Structure 1
C-alpha cells in the first residue's frame, strides 16, 4: 500500500461562499480522526474567496475510499447541494527523489 495525495478543488457559487466554507470546516476534525488520514488541510484562495482547496494525504487509497463513503461527507453533499459550481478531485502520488 502506498501513500495517496488528494487535491480537491471546490468553487462555490458567489452567493454561497459562507455556506460552503462553514460546511467544509465541519469536515476537518472528523476526517483528521479517521483511520489512514495523515493530513487534511483546507485552503482558501486569497484573490478568489469562492475557491477552496483541500490538500490531503492518506496512508492508502483503500482508507481514502472509506473516508469518501463516510456519513459526514454525505451530509456535506446534502448541505451544499446547488451551492458549488466546480468540484475537481485529483488522486496523486508523490515522486520521491
Structure 2
C-alpha cells in the first residue's frame, strides 16, 4: 500500500494541487505528501488547506519552494491546530521558524 508520495519538481500547478486536494478529502492511506519545488500558488494552497479540514490521515506535508506567500501560509494556520499533520514545511525551514504570519496561532 502506498503511504508516502513525493512528487517534488514535477511542475505541479494549482490545478494539480486541486486534484490532490480532492484525493486528500477521502484519503485514508497516504500519510506523507511531498509537493515541494512545484508551481503551487496561494490558490492551490487554499484548496489543500480546505482538504486538510477533513483529512485526518496525513501526518507530513511538504510544500517548500513553491509560490506560496505568507497569505497562503496563513490559510494552513487554523487548520493545523486541529489536524493530525505534525510536520509541515512551506519554505526552506519549517513554518514555525520562518513565517511570522503563523506565530499568532501558537
Same fold per TM (> 0.5)? no
With normalisation by structure 1, the TM-score equals 0.32
The structure in which a higher percent of residues are strand is 1
Q: In terms of Rg, which structure is larger?
A: 1
Q: TM-score with structure 2 length normalisation?
A: 0.30
* Structure with greater helix percent: 2
